[in-house]
Amino acid sequence: MASRIVTFDLGGREVEVMVRPMTTLQSVLRNQLGFTATKDGCRQGGCGSCTVLVNGQPMLSCLLPVEDVAGQRVTTLESITPAEGLHPIQQAFLDAHASQCGYCTPGMVMVSKALLDHDPAPTDDAIRHALTGNICRCTGYRPIVTAVHSAAEAVHDAADAMRGSAGERAR
């Protein structure tokens, strides 16, 4: 079958790739674009390590033909990691010792980002529900849930600080 060109937004930058039909977004990210933060666990939709955001929604990139994201907005861990330092969710995972081998962590962080973007103060149940499809074989889930709560507080504090400085400037 003929290859075709697919164009999509990756972290605010338009990318264009030549792919064979049914090539997954996971394969394109890792093998063609070198975005290896998106992990390659089971390739069967069973572990969540390949989770990215498509238009802000968590999606399993191992099950997603890249043609389905043509013209869409894809966000990976690379997209949210600042040039210096860590995203508050990454920092919270680090502080809470919520990863060991770290293989599951990018997927966990992306799901947490999507959750906090629409629910800034999630309950334990909401966090556990959001992370249902993400498997961790090393850490145990309590530190991960703790990390997401801490991240929610950090994001809230950062928003407060920004509002405060905007108020100062307006005076």
How does DSSP assign 29-68, residue by residue? IIIIS--TTS--S-SSSSS-TTEEEETTEEEEGGG-BGGG
Q: How far is the CB of 161 from ligand FES (least distance, A)?
A: 31
Q: How far is the CB of 72 from ligand FES (least distance, A)?
A: 18
Which residue among 139, 145, 148, 151 contacts ligand FES (CB under 6 A)? 139
Please name every residue paired with 13 in a beta bridge, in sequence order, or none if there are none. 10
Which residue among 6, 47, 52, 89 contacts ligand FES (CB under 6 A)? 47
User: What is the b/e burial string over 118-150, where b = at least 16 CB atoms within 10 angstroms of the residue's CB?
Assistant: eeeebeeeebeebbeebbbeebeeebbbbbbbb
Write the binding mask 51 to 90 for ligand FES: x where contact by CB under 6 A, - elsewhere. ---------x-x----------------------------
Contacts for 27-32 with beta carbons within 8 Å, 24 or more apart? Answer: 27/66, 28/66, 29/61, 29/74, 29/76
Residue 33 engages ligand FES in binding (rule: CB under 6 A): no
Q: How far is the CB of 86 from ligand FES (least distance, A)?
A: 16
Nearer to ligand FES, 46 or 164 (CB): 46
Positions touching ligand FES (CB under 6 A) are: 40-43, 45-50, 60, 62, 99-104, 136-139
